[in-house]
Amino acid sequence: MQNTTLYLYEFNTTHFTLIDENAGYYISEQKQNPIKKIVISNPFKELSRRNVELLLVDNLWDISDEIQQTSLNWSMCRMGFAQQRDSFSEKRR
């Protein structure tokens, strides 16, 4: 993350509709053009500035398993991009 540049695009919210409140997903059925582009050259610093707590973990599978047993609203929609559970277990040995 330290060597990553992120681009944050801001859009006019008029034509967006919330489709998943838990995950915060909005869609627009109309073509949208950004009204602003923000370059974030230091993601860690920007997250801190926005009072975001960042938790670094070695294994997303443990969190995924645990959170499903709670009453929290949660989304693990990107787990398809995580290392496979079997691959991770073998690296720990």
pLDDT attached to residue 88: 57
CB 43 within 8 A of CB 24: no
Q: What is the pLDDT of residues 29-54, one digit of tens each?
A: 999 999 999 999 999 999 999 999 88
Long-range contacts of 83-86 (CB under 8 A, 24+ apart): 85/61
pTM of the shown model? 0.60
Q: What is the pLDDT of residues 45-79, one digit of tens each?
A: 999 999 998 888 888 888 888 888 888 877 777 78
Q: What is the pLDDT of residues 11-27, one digit of tens each?
A: 999 999 999 888 889 99
